[in-house]
């Protein structure tokens, strides 16, 4: 494949007909990213497709050209921790950027699934981000939109920075520093962006501090207290917290990580720790930062498999016409009959009733218990008419922020959780053949689902009983685990 500098012959320029398009793997304000396979090399790539009409309508042409220029400059001396532009081309309707593919999704997915990282993971992955930023800053590039969603995970579980749509190249003269236009994501934006300060590498160091905080606690330091981030004024409230440096550490936040975050979250850019400071910091003493991409990453626990492989045998035609786009968007919407999306069928009623646990009852018993539950149980209104098989208070932990919830295991099967103070149902752990409970100790247990791991703690120490009951209900509806 010709490289981003154009190759040695115009005839070698690729087209969409040189690629099979597998699935949508990302979407932006004016672009869609597809997983593709190049027919000639059989290599997988990500292709960012930008609609020309939308670019012109939204006045995004300067940003698109700037991103292409930055990626073209970086590929001259590439880093394994930053996506590389393999080539670019266009047709009448679209621009295409062919970039390296990181198959294991983004960092945010892993933080959400495990709740929060241990110190080994926090140290290693923040060290890799630091190394990637060192490379960018030495090349005169400031990312300006560093966040977990823009940090991808490769097949070997190393990071790879992506999305340079907001990036800028620093001017050679420090006396002519460019001023900030507003870019970035509210939770990670630096104070100088909000006060129209100059563009500098310190912006990315602020975002790194926010990410380290999120790795340790599960949530970013500056966030809306509202449950929905998109309510009117939510970003404004976050911006006010940033400008006032208003954030708090949970009680059990690691002290060394806390010290590091405090070195990075300084209102004045000149007061923030630099990458040179961080490389000398005791927190990273065990790491060879400059060669960190050659080291074995620590395992993220509980282990999370990458995205499922694409079956290229099912993709028969190359290119990206309207029919292909419709097919790919259909895949993105989850039109699948895979076991993970399956629900218990009506045929399940023919299964024998388990006689040694929470499912030990006859249909007559069930009706009698439901009648009593309707009359006497304050929790009945939350379970949609299902019979409560087991209930109890648990601490539902997301990062370092536990929430006391009433957990309700019912027929159906269902696992509801309710706020016992406000008496509001907060959600439900989704059942599927892939659901799997795992006790960690007498108090703590996990419930693994395809898209998330729920971290629960029974203050009474009955984690093993919860796992046993969930497994009994699982076997009743889905049969023995294979």
Q: Catalytic positions, please? A: 145
| Strand stretches in 270-400, DSSP E | 388-398
- Here the tokens at position 364 are 């007559």
The residue with tokens 């659901």 is 435
For residues 195 and 192, what is the distance between their CA atoms, to the nearest angstrom? 5
Scanning 228-319, the segments in alpha helix (DSSP H) are: 234-243, 255-264, 275-280
DSSP string, 456-477: EE-TTS-HHHHHHHHHHHHHHH
Tell me the CB-side half-sphere exposure of residue 292, using CA atoms within 13 A.
Answer: 28
Cα 359 → chain centroid: 37
Q: Are 110 and 153 in contact (CB under 8 A)?
A: yes
- Here the tokens at position 11 are 């005839």
Is 468 annotated among the ligand-binding residues? no
Question: What's the DSSP call for residue 373?
Answer: H
Q: Are 435 and 447 in contact (CB under 8 A)?
A: yes
Q: Are 188 and 211 in contact (CB under 8 A)?
A: yes
Residues belonging to the binding site are: 48
Instruction: Point out the annotated binding site for ATP.
Output: 48
């Amino acid at each position: 494949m010709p490289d981003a500098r154009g190759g040695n012959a115009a005839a070698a320029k690729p087209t969409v007909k040189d690629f099979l398009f597998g699935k949508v793997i990302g979407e932006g304000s004016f672009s869609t990213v597809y997983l593709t396979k190049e027919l000639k090399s059989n290599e997988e790539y990500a292709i960012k497709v930008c609609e020309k009409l939308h670019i012109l309508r939204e006045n995004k042409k300067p940003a698109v050209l700037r991103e292409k220029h930055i990626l073209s400059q970086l590929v001259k001396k590439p880093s394994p921790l930053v996506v590389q532009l393999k080539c670019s081309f266009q047709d009448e309707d679209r621009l295409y950027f062919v970039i390296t593919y990181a198959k294991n999704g983004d960092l945010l997915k892993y933080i959400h699934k495990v709740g929060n990282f241990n110190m080994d993971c926090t140290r290693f992955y923040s060290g890799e981000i630091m190394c990637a930023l060192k490379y960018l800053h030495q090349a005169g590039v400031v990312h300006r939109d560093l966040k977990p969603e823009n940090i991808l995970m490769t097949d070997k579980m190393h990071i790879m920075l992506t999305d340079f749509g907001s990036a800028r190249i620093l001017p050679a003269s420090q006396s002519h520093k460019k001023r900030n236009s507003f870019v970035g994501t509210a939770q990670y934006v630096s104070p100088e962006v909000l006060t129209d300060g100059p563009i500098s590498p310190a912006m990315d160091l602020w975002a790194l501090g926010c990410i380290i905080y999120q790795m340790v606690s599960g949530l970013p330091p500056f966030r809306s207290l509202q449950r929905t981030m998109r309510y009117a004024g939510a970003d404004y409230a976050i911006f006010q917290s940033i400008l006032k440096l208003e954030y708090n550490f949970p009680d059990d936040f690691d002290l060394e990580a806390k010290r590091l975050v405090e070195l990075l979250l300084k209102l004045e850019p000149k007061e923030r720790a630099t990458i040179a400071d961080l490389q000398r910091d005791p927190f990273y003493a065990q790491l060879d930062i400059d060669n960190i991409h050659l080291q074995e990453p620590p395992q993220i626990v509980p282990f999370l498999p990458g995205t499922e492989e694409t079956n290229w045998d099912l993709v028969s035609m190359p290119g990206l016409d309207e029919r292909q786009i419709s097919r790919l968007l259909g895949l993105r919407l989850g039109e699948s009959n895979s076991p993970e999306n399956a629900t218990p069928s009506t045929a399940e009623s023919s299964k024998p009733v388990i006689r040694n646990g929470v499912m030990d009852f006859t249909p007559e018993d069930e009706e009698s218990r439901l009648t009593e539950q309707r009359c006497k149980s304050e929790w009945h209104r939350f379970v949609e008419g299902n019979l409560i098989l087991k209930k109890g208070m648990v601490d539902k932990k997301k990062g370092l922020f536990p929430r006391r919830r009433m957990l309700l295991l019912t027929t159906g099967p269902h696992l509801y959780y309710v706020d016992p103070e406000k008496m509001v149902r907060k959600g439900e752990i989704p059942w599927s053949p892939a659901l799997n409970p795992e006790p960690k100790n007498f108090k703590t247990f996990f419930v693994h689902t395809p898209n998330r791991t729920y971290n629960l703690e029974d203050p009474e120490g009955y984690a093993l009983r919860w796992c046993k009951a969930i497994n009994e209900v699982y076997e009743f509806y889905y049969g023995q685990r294979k």
